[in-house]
Amino acid sequence: MIDKNKIRADNYITILLVVCFLLFAIFFPLDALLSIIVYPFASLTCLGILNIVSVLEKRNYKNHGKLNKILSGIIYINFSVLILWFILTQPNIASQRIVALIAFPMLIVAFAGIIKGSIIDIYSLKYRRVNIYIGIITFIICMLVLLNVMNNFLFNIIVLSLTLLINILSRAALYLSEFGLSIVHIKNLRLFLYIISDYLINIDRNGNLILSKIE
How would you write the pLDDT of the chain (215 residues) with one tens digit per residue?
567 898 899 999 999 999 989 988 898 888 888 888 899 999 899 888 878 877 765 555 556 667 888 888 899 999 999 998 988 888 878 888 888 899 999 999 999 999 999 999 999 999 999 999 999 999 999 999 888 777 788 899 999 999 999 999 999 999 999 888 888 877 777 788 777 766 667 666 666 666 666 55
Query: Using the 8-state DSSP alphabet, how is residue 207 labeled?
Result: S
What pLDDT score was predicted for residue 137?
A: 96
How many whole angstroms separate alpha carbon 26 and alpha carbon 18?
A: 13
- With CA atoms as reference, report the closest residue to 31 among 113, 100, 88: 100
- With CA atoms as reference, report the closest residue to 32 among 18, 44, 46, 43: 18
Distance of CA 89 to the CA centre of its chain: 24
How is 17-51 classified by DSSP, letter by letter?
Answer: HHHHHHHHHHH-HHHHHHHHHHHHHHHHHHHHHHH
Burial pattern 113-133, b for ≥16 Cβ within 10 A else e, equals: bbbbbbbbeebeeebbebbbe
What pLDDT score was predicted for residue 109?
A: 93
- With CA atoms as reference, report the closest residue to 100 among 55, 39, 167: 39
- With CA atoms as reference, report the closest residue to 179 among 3, 26, 27, 52: 3
